[in-house]
Amino acid sequence: MIEILDNPDVLALPQLDLTTVTMNGVPLGAPATDVPRGTIVEASSSIVARYSGGTDIDSAYHDADGRRLTLDEVVDHTARSDGFLYCADKLTYKVRAGAVVGFAIYGPHLSHFAHLTSYEEFLAAFGSPSRVDENVSYGDLMSYDNYYWGARKLVKWDAWDHRVSLINFGVFEGNSGP
């Protein structure tokens, strides 16, 4: 198995067999309970009817009856069902039916690609995507979503900050084709 955090060049491959990679030691298809519990700082799941939180604000989860849920309760529910497990180290695991089906990487893990300062340099390093979606807001180009179906991944190029801002693999909308 290839640990993608130890081998960041793998993140740029346009073709990748996802059965051969792990993220922080967790392979796709593994039980969500294998995600290192001590790194999880937030979770989303269908048990949560209302959530509040943000930068420098403690997260608060409530169920449909208004009962406050602990992070452990939400993580436990997510690990048995569907949702996302968000880790302090800017890694996210997508969970479906209790199994890890996707990885998302952002923040400092993408500093390996900081030398790419233009979209043209990005394309030279990552190759031609299978599909590109431009994200425009109020007439300004915000980012390019680059889908690589051979690797079942999305790489977001931030057009404002001129950097790779997100890479996700696995079962995310658009990653496997139209």
Give the percent of the chain with pLDDT over 70: 100
Distance CA 90, CA 104 (A): 8
Average pLDDT, the chain: 95
8-16 average pLDDT score: 94
The strand pairing partners of 95, in sequence order, are 83, 100
In this prediction the pTM is 0.92
55-68 average pLDDT score: 89
pLDDT given at position 128: 96
> Which residue, among 70, 42, 46, has the nearest Cα to 57 in the 3D structure?
42
The Cβ of residue 176 has, within 10 Å, a number of other Cβ atoms equal to: 13
Tens digits of per-residue pLDDT, 14-44?
999 999 999 999 999 999 999 999 999 999 9
Tokens coding 110: 């993408």
> Which residue, among 2, 177, 8, has the nearest Cα to 108 in the 3D structure?
8
103-123 average pLDDT score: 96
Residue with tokens 């198995």: 1
pLDDT beyond 80 at 178 = no
